[in-house]
Structures are given as C-alpha cells and as structure tokens.
Amino acid sequence: MSDEMISLFQPWLEVTTVSNCTIDCSYCPQRIFQKHYHGCKMLTLSDFKSALVSVPRYVGIHFSGFAEPFLNPQCIDMMEYAHSKGHRISLFSTLVGLRNTDVERLKRCDPEVTLHLPDNLGNAKIPLTQTYKDTLTAVMRRLRITTFYVMNEHFISNERAGSCTDTKGRHLRGWFFCEKLSAPQFVMLPNCDVTLCCMDFGLKHIIGNLASQSWLEIIRSPEYQKVCANRLKIDGDVLCRKCAWASVNFRTQYYIKRVVQRYYVKQCIAQYCKK
C-alpha cells in the first residue's frame, strides 16, 4: 500500500512519555505494562525528536499511550515540536502535571483534547488540588475538547484485550477486521520501542524501535505483517483474537452505550461547573 493510501485511513502514533502512571486507575492494566516494560522511565525530548525524523507528516501524534502524558515535564515541548513539524496533535489526559501557565502554549498546538475527569468512585486517583482545578478551568475555557471520560458507574470498558481485571476471556476464531491493521495506530514507549496498539499493555507485539528504525521499516516489520496477515486466517496467536475491538458485536454495543455515557458525562460536568 502506498504512503498516500495509508494516509487515507488516519494513521497515528501514540506517545507514552513515562513508564509509570501515578494516576493508577483501578480499571487500567498498569501493573501488566510495568511487569513487561524494562526500558528507561522517561522519554527525553531529544529521543522524541530523533524518533519523529522518519514519521510522515500525515501521521497524527497522540499524547496518550500507556500513561498520563504530562507526568513528563517535557511533554509540552514535545507537543510544540510535533506541531511545528506539521503533525496533527491529539491529547488524552487527566491534566495531572500540566502547569496552568502552559495552557496557552498548549492552545497554540491546536490539539484535539479528550479529557479524563475525576470520578465519584475514586477510580482515577487525580489529586483535587486548587492548582488542578485552576488548570482544568483554563483548559475547559481555552481548548478544543472533543470527548470526556469519567470512570464512574457508567464507564464502558474496552477491556484492553483481556488485560483489565473486570474482563472475561475472549478468543475470536475466523477472520476479523480492525482499522489499526490497515492504518497503523502504534504506541511508542519511553525507550522508543513501538508496540501494536493501545490494547497491548502486555507488550505482546513489539514491532520495532523508532530510535533505530524508520517508520516504514516498522510498518514492514515481520511482527506487524504477521498480525495483519492473521486477519484472514481461522485462528492464531495474536492479541487481536483476545480483543473486543475485533468483535463487530462488541463495537456495536460499545458505540450505543457511549451515546448514553456522553449524556451522563455532560451531567457530571454540569455538577463540576456548579462547584
């Protein structure tokens, strides 16, 4: 497939800026990630710049991955750098670690923001300090927020390919579809290793390393090609076969439930605003 065709499917690279997410949400398979990851704890700005050298401009850069991006103090510099190179920027964040004074810098990167808000059950351990509240207010006033998540009783788990504690085991047989196998949506770790997707907390499919390989080499790597080829097989040992995202039934139910969840999240935000 040509680079232009790949670009039609919105490929992106998720960046994990630190190896230990202190928000430690009860739903998130952080322990599994930490058990399998043995690289450096923090992505450096210089490694990030080197990793981006071969990544085409049409590949969006998502600051999300397997940890809260702003736990790395250089995250905002990385966002500015990626934006200056012409990449679309997305952010999935609790805002923990973001300085209020950096909100304007963030705005200039024009990110599409998904906000992960505190919940009444304490599932996400977001410290509710005055600094946090001021930053949240500034972000809600100044940035383009497209989605909100709250891990309350209405939260819908995507199961992270069986890594979450509340998920039932799945094993899909037969052919399956996932857009991430047509347009890559890889996750880069702090040591620049690249893994299959945001479900791969257990690092089952490390498909390359952007410090030593180009984007194209990683797409053509045997590991990624093996997973892609498995789509058309009856069975096999790939993460996708444990993943709810490969199930048409699950996706349909998930999208319907998300409509309901959005309603509850709006109510939740109205309550925050009153406070």
Q: What are 56's two structure tokens?
A: 């085409």
Residues 227-256 that bind ligand SF4 (CB under 6 A): 239-240, 243, 245-246
Alpha carbon dihedral 90, 132, 163, 10, in 10-degree steps, equals -10
- Assess 183 for contact with ligand SF4 (CB under 6 A): no
Q: At what angle do helices 45-52 and 75-84 cross, to 10 degrees?
A: 30
Residue of 191, 244, 253 whose CA lies nearest to 41: 191
Does 14 engage in binding with ligand SF4 (CB under 6 A)?
Answer: no
Report the candidate in 120, 172, 180, 114 with the shortest Cα–Cα distance to residue 144. Answer: 114
- Take residue 1 and report the two structure tokens written for it: 């497939």
Q: Does 197 bind ligand SF4 (CB under 6 A)?
A: yes
Q: Which of 251, 264, 33, 275 is nearest to 163 (CA)?
A: 33
**Could you say whether residue 207 binds ligand SF4 (CB under 6 A)?**
no
124 part of the interface to ligand SF4, by CB under 6 A: yes
Q: Distances from the Cα of 2 to the Cαs of 5, 6, 143, 183, 219, in angstroms?
A: 5, 6, 34, 11, 12
What gap in Å lies between CA 149 and CA 142, rounded to an integer?
19
CB of 27 to ligand SF4, least distance (A): 7
Pick the closer one to ligand SF4 by CB: 29 or 106. Answer: 29
CB nearer to ligand SF4: pick between 19 and 94: 94
Stretch that binds ligand SF4, among 130-138, 175-183, 217-225, 264-272 (CB under 6 A): 175-183
**Interface map 84-123 toward ligand SF4 (x if CB under 6 A):** ----------x---------------------x-------
CA 254 to chain centre: 18
* Count of residues interacting with ligand SF4 (CB under 6 A): 24
**Judged by CB under 6 A, does residue 21 bind ligand SF4?**
yes
The CB-of-262 to ligand SF4 minimum distance in angstroms stands at 18
Query: By the 8 A CB rule, do 125 and 24 touch?
Result: yes
Strands 193-195 and 60-63 come out as unpaired
Tallying the residues shown for the chain, one arrives at: 275
Q: Exactly one of 196, 207, 218, 268 binds ligand SF4 (CB under 6 A); which one? A: 196
What is the closest distance, in whole angstroms, from the C-beta atom of residue 5 to ligand SF4 in the complex?
Answer: 18
Contact positions vs ligand SF4 (CB under 6 A): 21, 23-25, 28, 30, 66-68, 94, 116, 124, 161, 178, 180-181, 196-197, 199, 239-240, 243, 245-246
